[in-house]
Amino acid sequence: MDLFSNQIEPNQNLLPKDGVVNYFGPILNQPEADHYFHQLLDTIPWENDVLVMFGKRIETKRKVAWFGDKPFAYTYSNSTKRALYWTPELLELKQLTEKLTTTTYNSCLLNLYHSGEEGMGWHSDDEKELQPNGAIASLSFGAERQFVFKHKTTNEKVALVLDHGSLLVMKGETQNFWQHRLPPTKKVTSPRINLTFRTITTENLAE
């Protein structure tokens, strides 16, 4: 596994091939990042994620929320969600992210991990509702966590640590060739909030 230090230029591609991942590092100063972390923690209507796997309904300890320009329908792990409308804080973060990435987004999936013991297994963000090869911008707040990519064919791995208030962008063919995960760890005892700004295609608009 290649473990990068976080001294990375925003225009540097972290992947050796078959996709593009750029890490901007912290895009907010410490007080700003702390402010958004606490606002999101206290004001977002967090709910336990519900997945359907092998016909069984599974409720995760990790909590989620889904926001967007309109009540988009979004399905993953056989569970469909409807987007809520943006909060003021989410709109501010969306506009900042769009400015830095020169890309527009119309939706955002939020995840709340209460401690390092909660993580995410290997997966690709390749749901049918998403814009093909569209950029996915990931904002992190709270506990610093390791984030790992694995090539679907060669099993090459690339890892880095996501800082408090940092931005990572996945684009191009990344989701076609790579999986990613947030490994669980007992070394982290504090919570982390992750925002992934995405683009849902117009045919998936809810009536």
Complete DSSP assignment for 2-71: EE--S---TT---SSSSSEEEEEEE-S-HHHHHHHHHHHHHHS--EEEEEEETTEEEEEEEEEEEEESS-
Q: Which residue has the higher pLDDT, 19 or 10?
A: 19
Q: Is the sign of the CA dihedral 88, 140, 191, 124 positive or negative?
A: positive
Confidence at residue 207, expressed as pLDDT on a 0 to 100 scale: 45
For 139-161, the pLDDT digits (tens) are 999 999 999 999 999 999 999 99
Tokens of 158: 């690339």
195: pLDDT strictly greater than 50 = yes
pLDDT bin (cut points 50, 70, 90) of residue 4 is very low
Residue 104: its pLDDT value, please? 97
Q: What is the pTM of this model?
A: 0.89
Domains of the chain, each with CATH number or no CATH: 15-204 (2.60.120.590)
Give the tens place of pLDDT for each residue, 176-186.
Answer: 999 999 999 99
Output phi, psi for 16, to 5 deg: -75, -20
Rounded Cα gap, residues 161 and 75, in angstroms: 28
Asked if residues 74 and 129 have their Cβ atoms less than 8 Å apart, the reply is yes
Tokens, residue 89: 């804080």
- The whole-number pLDDT of residue 43 equals 96
DSSP assignments along 142-170, one per residue: ES-EEEEEEETTT--EEEEEEPTTEEEEE
pLDDT at position 76 is 67
Q: Which amino acid is at 168?
A: L
Angle between helices 88-101 and 30-43 (to 10 degrees): 130
pLDDT tier for residue 5 given thresholds of 50, 70 and 90: very low
99 alpha-carbon distance from chain centroid: 18
CA distance 6 to 2: 12
Q: What is the pLDDT of residues 101-116, one digit of tens each?
A: 999 999 999 999 999 9
3-state SS, residue 175? helix
